[in-house]
Amino acid sequence: MEAVKRIYADHAATTKLCEAAFKAMLPFLRDEFGNPSSLHSWAKEPRSAINVAREKIAQCINAEPEEILFTSGGTEANNWAIKSTGGTLYVSSYEHHSVLNSANSEAVRGRELVIIKPKMGGYIMPRNLSVLKSGTGLVSIMSANNEIGTTNPVRLLSETAHDKGYLFHTDAVQMLGHLKVDVKDWGVDYLSASAHKFNGPKGIGFLYCRKGAPLQSFLDGGSQESGLRAGTENVAAIVGMAAALEFNCSQIARQSFRLERLAASLCDGISRIKKDAHFPGRDIMPQLPGFVSVSFPGCSAESLLHLLDLKGVAVSAGAACNSRKVKTSHVLKAIHLPRKLAESTIRISLGYENTDDDVSAIIDALKFALKHNAT
């Protein structure tokens, strides 16, 4: 039997470690194992590598090195920003669960929580923030959505939040490393990032916290991360994250153009084999490069996903990145996609390794899946 070529088209869930990150990490996985906080010479290399990584990351997003705090990923960065602030909390209904559930746990502790609804197209405009009462607190709106790939006008949203007296946080986990991110231009107070979404290692991320913005201690213990997040640093992961971000940022112009072209050709191919295919979020605001969210009326997304997997093509359905089970997506619900259509929606997210041949193979696999799909 002919071996099936495996095509990974689920880059919004996670990405492959890039060569630059892999190479940068190697010394710190074994030989340079010293604890960066030790007083002897074994600490020198790891400590210096952490400092360099912090500087590189800061440069990539136009921040100061001391404004970068390493975390275990995007979930922790989101929790940290939200739980460091007081006052009223405004979050949108289509945020990642690490934002929504952090906000809900703050509400359980008595904090006022207001949910902002996105437009039907899957984005948020400054006029959506007209619900903001003058006061204090935090507004948290994601830079790009992880299920439909829509992007938000972060600078305008942060300006609006500040005008009303609020701090502004953005979850940039899906956007960083794929589109330009500039914290000074955006004027954000906090920004969350996760390395495994930009070809870095898993279990590492960072929180950008503007100098002067409130930040509570997240983990008590030693003096790591300015005494705010204690614990011996994961040196290899930090170094890998910086190398991956530096590499991806240098490729943004070329890759975003290439991936957009691949996504457009994928959409064309899909529309040819299924005339009534619907593309949530694809019409008005720019989408993340390579991102295709597509509904197949009359089909089951879960069944499509498994049939595509049989053909070697990996995609996701619903909020699959946080569960082994496909659930009706809160994002598709938030943008008012009818339930039946939401249940027929899959997410195809292309990445750096995907090619024109992969797009043709995905379309062929979809033909097979649509033919054998059971609703």
Binding-site member from 10, 67, 106, 171 for ligand PLP (CB under 6 A): 171
Q: How many CB atoms lie within 10 A of CB 49?
A: 22
Among 128, 140, 150, 194, binds ligand PLP (CB under 6 A): 194
Give the x-and-dash track for 302-331 against ligand PLP (CB under 6 A).
-------------------x----------
8 A C-beta contact, residue 182 and residue 106: no
Closest distance of CB 340 from ligand PLP, Å: 25
Nearer to ligand PLP, 191 or 304 (CB): 191
Chain-centre distance of CA 34, in angstroms? 32
154 binds ligand PLP (CB under 6 A): no
- In the chain, DSSP assigns E strands to 7-8, 68-71, 88-92, 113-116, 137-140, 167-171, 190-194, 205-209, 291-295, 313-314, 316-317, 345-349
Site for ligand PLP in 27-86 (CB under 6 A): 73-75, 78
Q: Does 173 bind ligand PLP (CB under 6 A)?
A: yes
Distances in whole angstroms, Cα of residue 57 to Cα of each of 3, 63, 70, 175: 41, 8, 10, 15
The DSSP output letter for 262 is H
Cα separation, 41 vs 48, in Å, equals 11
- Judged by CB under 6 A, the stretch of 171-179, 243-251, 255-263, 269-277 that binds ligand PLP is 171-179
User: Which of the residues 239 through 268 are near ligand PLP (CB under 6 A)?
Assistant: none
Residue 179 beta carbon to ligand PLP: minimum distance, rounded to whole angstroms:
14
Query: Of the listed 18, 60, 267, 321, which one is catalytic?
Result: 321
CA atoms within 13 A on the CB side of 191: 29
Does residue 18 carry a catalytic annotation?
Answer: no
Contact residues for ligand PLP (CB under 6 A)? 73-75, 78, 96, 98, 142, 146, 171, 173-174, 194, 205, 321
Active site residues: 321
